[in-house]
Amino acid sequence: MAQIIELTDANFEEVIKSFEAPVLVDFWAPWCGPCRIMAPVMEEIAQKFQKKIKVAKINVDDNPAVASRYEVRSIPTFILFEKGEVKKTVVGAMNTEKLIEELGI
């Protein structure tokens, strides 16, 4: 099973820039119903695309600096990074196929 990387304000930049592959980051919070609905979708994407992208998540309540830096105003928000740069941002819960389509992966 593919691993979903847990990010924090402290390790975010280092982790995002450490991978050659694109990194899909899920900005979420435990109290957010749509975020919980997206957890299995993120696991499916991590598994399906494990050779193509890395999947990570960051709790916006515990790590407000990163959420603020990337202007995350509502959750769930998904940001696809390539070489540390934002490539695509998608907001809201959706099924796996729709998220893959929106992100272009």
pLDDT digits (tens, 9 = 90+) for 23-40: 999 999 999 999 999 999
Q: Is 51 a catalytic residue?
A: no
- Provide the mean pLDDT of the chain: 94
Taking CA atoms, 46 is separated from 42, 50, 69, 73, in Å, by: 6, 5, 25, 24
Kindly name the residue from 4, 16, 23, 32 that is annotated as catalytic: 32
Q: Please report the pLDDT score of residue 19 as a whole number.
A: 87
Q: Is the predicted pLDDT of residue 1 greater than 70, yes or no?
A: no
Look at residue 2 in the predicted model and tell me its pLDDT.
Answer: 63
Task: Tell me if residue 18 is catalytic.
Answer: no
Instruction: Give the model's pLDDT for residue 94.
Output: 96
Tens of pLDDT, residues 37-52? 999 999 999 999 989 9
Q: Could you tell me which CATH class the domain 4-103 is placed in?
A: alpha beta
The one catalytic residue in 35, 66, 72, 103 is 35
